[in-house]
Structure 1
Amino acid sequence: MSDTGRQDMGDKLSSSMKPESQKTMTEQATDKMKGMYDSVASTMQPEGQKSTGQKMTDGVSGNSNENSESMTDKAKDTMGMQK
């Protein structure tokens, strides 16, 4: 369950499962816009007002108003896939 106006974890997961090369231009643009909006919404929403599910989703995706590395980034870093 996501907070009002935030991207649902299911939407994020389904979007990330399909390779970019198989997405249409419209899907790519939509994903990018949703991601940007969700990132801004996450940063603006105080941690104390987020639901437990939204906090977990933000922690995994890296959308948080705390300056910490996301679990996804940590995994990529461990596997040598980071920048």
Structure 2
Amino acid sequence: MRYIKDIPHQQFKISIYQWNNKYIIKIEAGMFEQTYKIDEYEITNLEEIEKCIDEPFLIKVSARFEAMHEDFDKTLKRNDVIF
């Protein structure tokens, strides 16, 4: 996997990679991450990817991170891993 660039953001670490004829958008928050893939032939340049990482999208990403955290916390408690 080849690193392309980071997209600055105050809340998330957003990185773009290229691998297997796809661009991979990796968004990290703490110990969780979300990955989105798009075929290289779907876009003409990287600016199109950056344009798609807009505020409405990132609001949904944030909500998904919150849900991931809640789900993981619940399973840890349910299975007596943490109290």
**TM-score normalised to the size of structure 1?**
0.33
Mark the structure with the bigger radius of gyration. Answer: 2
Specify which structure has the higher proportion of helix. 1
Specify which structure has the higher proportion of strand. 2
Q: Does 1 or 2 have the higher relative contact order (CA < 8 Å, sep 6+)? A: 1
